[in-house]
Amino acid sequence: MENETAKQQDHDLFHKVQDGDMVAFNDLVNRYRDRLMNVIGRMLPSREESEDIVQETFLRVYQHRSSFDFKHCFSTWLYTIALNLARNELRKKKKYRFVDIADIQNTEIEVSVEAKIPSDLGPALNEAIGSLPEKYKTAFLLRDIEEMPYEEVARVLSVPLGTVKSRVNRARSILRDKLRPRMEERNALSKGALLPVSLL
């Protein structure tokens, strides 16, 4: 019911956008920009690139506003565009890998600190999500981070519902396996166990 209301609101706004109402477009941007960023920002390595992709998504939406089919959900269309752009960006990155020396130095420092004191599991979680295979990652982000219904995830990714469920399940299992050692370590620290000599 809530989804239906949100869908109707999106459609009302988009009708106005098609009539050239930029205020309505601004409302749509404000509705979705952080949600998109929350997904795309976990797919791409840098924040600047993610923001560029989110911007490009809204730009494409505006450019192709006349071709939107109101039979479909606006959010499905929006996420499909954003994920396609992010995938293209990742593909380009695979071809040409640019590495900044400063980034390497920072990463090394962060990793070493984290290995010694695993008090904050946030970076570890992000790292684990980032290391997921792309098809599992997109399904997981849309379902568990964005909390999108399975049916809509299936429409965004253009795959059957069963495939989405199995991908999400697989992604959760991989995350659990990757994070388990960190979590056990943390539990041990919180219980006051002695640190291993190698970590001191």
Partner 1 sequence: MRCRKVRSCLSAFCRGEIAPGVAGDITRHIDGCPSCRREAEAFRAVNRMLTQQTPLKTGDDFSARLFARIANENFAEKREKAYLPGRIPLVGASRLAVVAVTAVVVLLVGAGINLSQMAGPSSVPLALSTSTGSGGSDNDLYLTVQPTHNPLLNSQKSVSRMVQQYNRWRELSRVVRSQSGAEQFMGNGSTVVMASSGYGSAPVNGIRIRPVVKNYLFTPENSSAGARGAVY
Give residues in contact with partner 1 (CB under 8 A): 22, 26, 29-30, 33-34, 37-38, 41-42, 47, 50-51, 54-55, 58-59, 62-63, 121-122, 125-126, 144-145, 165, 168-169, 172-173, 175-176, 179-180, 183
List, in order, residues 6 or more apart from 181 with CB less than 8 Å away.
none
Please, which residue, 67 or 71, has the CB nearer to partner 1?
67
DSSP 125-156: HHHHHHTS-HHHHHHHIIIIIS---HHHHHHH
Please, which residue, 5 or 30, has the CB nearer to partner 1?
30
Least distance (Å) from partner 1 to the CB of residue 122? 6
What's the CA gap between 140 and 146, in Å, rounded?
9
Least distance (Å) from partner 1 to the CB of residue 56? 9
Least distance (Å) from partner 1 to the CB of residue 193? 18
Give the CA distances from residue 61 to residues 13, 78, 174, 200, in Å, rounded to whole numbers and listed in that order: 13, 7, 34, 53
Least distance (Å) from partner 1 to the CB of residue 44? 11
Please, which residue, 97 or 151, has the CB nearer to partner 1?
151
CB 128 within 8 A of CB 175: yes
Q: Which helix (H) or strand (E) holds 94?
A: helix 74-95
Please, which residue, 21 or 51, has the CB nearer to partner 1?
51
Please, which residue, 156 or 164, has the CB nearer to partner 1?
164
